[in-house]
A and B are shown apart, each in its own frame.
Chain A
Amino acid sequence: MDVQIALLLGQDGVTNGAIYALLALALVLVFAVTRVIFIPQGEFVAFGALTLASLQAGKLPGTVWLLLAMGMAIGLIEGATAVRARRFHRLPLIILVNCGAPLLLAASLLAVSPAGLPLPVQVLLTLMLVVPLGPMLYRLAYQPVAEASVLALLIVSVAVHVTLTGIGLLFFGAEGSRTPAFTDASFTVGDVVLQGQTLLVIVASTLLIVALYLFFERTLYGKALRATAMNRTGARLMGISGDLAGLLSFTLAGAIGAFSGVLISPITTIYYDSGFLIGLKGFVGAIIGGLASYPAAAAGAVLVGLLEAYSSFWASAFKEVIVFTLIIPVLLWRSLKTRHGEEA
Chain B
Amino acid sequence: MRIKLLFASLLAFLGIVPAAGARAEINVGVTLSATGPAASLGIPEKNTFALLPTTIAGQKINYIILDDASDTTTAVKNTRKLLAENKVDVVIGSTTTPNSLAMIDVVAEGETPMISMAASARIIDPMDGKRAWVFKTPQNDAQMATAIVQHMLDNQVRTVAYIGFADAYGEGWWNEFSKIAEARKIQIVGNERFNRADTSVTGQVLKILAAKPDAVLVGGAGTPAALPQRSLKEKGYKGLMYQTHGVANADFLRVCGKDCEGTFLPAGPVLVAAQLPDGNPIKKVALDYVRKYEAMHGKGTVSTFGAHAWDASLLLAHAVPEALKKAQPGTPEFRKALRQALEKTTNLTAAHGVFNMSPQDHLGFDQRARVMVRIDNGTWKLVE
- B199 touching A264 by the CB < 8 A rule? yes
Q: Which residues of B contact A317 (CB under 8 A)?
A: 166, 192-193
Q: How far is the CB of B227 from chain A (nearest CB, A)?
A: 6
Q: Could you tell me how many residues of chain A have their Cβ less than 8 Å away from some Cβ of chain B? A: 36
| A166 contacts B by Cβ under 8 Å | yes
Q: List chain B residues, Cβ under 8 A from A174.
A: 39-40, 42-43, 222
Check if B224 sits within 8 Å of A176, measured CB to CB: yes
Contacts of A308 in B (CB 8 A): 200
Contact status B197-A271, CB under 8 Å: yes
Cβ 8 A contact of A12, one of B166, B196, B203, B222: B203
A3 to B249 alpha-carbon distance, docked (Å): 39
Q: Is B348 an interface residue (CB 8 A)?
A: no
Instruction: Tell me the chain A residues, 11-39 only, with Cβ under 8 Å from chain B.
Output: 12, 15-16, 19
Q: CB-CB < 8 A to B202: which residues of A?
A: 8-9, 12, 309, 312
User: Across the two chains, which residue of chain B brings its CB closest to A175?
Assistant: B251
- Residue B194 CB within 8 A of the other chain: yes
> Using an 8 Å CB-CB cutoff, how does the interface string of B175-205 with A read, 1 for contact, 0 for none?
0000000000000000011111111111110
The 8 Å CB contact of A175, one of B40, B193, B197, B198, is B40
Interface check A313, CB cutoff 8 A? yes
Interface residues on B, range: 20 to 34
Task: Decide if B222 touches A312 in the complex (CB within 8 Å).
Answer: no
Report whether over half of chain A's contact residues are helix, strand or loop; otherwise say mixed: helix
Given contacts A169-B35, A177-B255, contact A269 B203 (CB under 8 A): no
Q: How far is the CA of A73 from the CA of B153 in the complex (A)?
A: 62
**Which residues on the A side are within 8 Å of B192 (C-beta)?**
316-317
Interface centre among A12, A169, A175, A308, by most chain B C-beta atoms within 10 angstroms, is A175
Q: Decide if B91 is an interface residue (CB 8 Å cutoff).
A: no
CB–CB A312/B199 < 8 A? no
Task: Tell me, in angstroms, the Cα distance from A15 to B43 when the chains sit together.
Answer: 34
Specify which of A169, A269, A319 is in contact with B223 (CB 8 Å cutoff): A269
Q: Are A313 and B200 in contact (CB under 8 A)?
A: no
Cβ contact within 8 Å between A316 and B251: no
Whether B251 pairs with A278 at a CB distance below 8 angstroms is no
A164 proximity list for chain B (CB < 8 A): none
Q: List A270-300 residues whose CB lies under 8 Å from chain B.
A: 271, 273-274, 276-278
A-B contact pairs, 5 of them (CB 8 A): A173-B251, A175-B254, A269-B227, A314-B203, A319-B193
Q: Which residues of A contact B (CB under 8 A)?
A: 5, 8-9, 12, 15-16, 19, 166, 169, 173-178, 264, 267-269, 271, 273-274, 276-278, 308-314, 316-317, 319-320
Given contacts A169-B39, A264-B199, 14 further A-B contacts (CB under 8 A): A5-B210, A15-B200, A176-B224, A271-B223, A273-B37, A274-B197, A277-B195, A278-B199, A309-B200, A312-B202, A312-B203, A313-B207, A316-B166, A319-B194
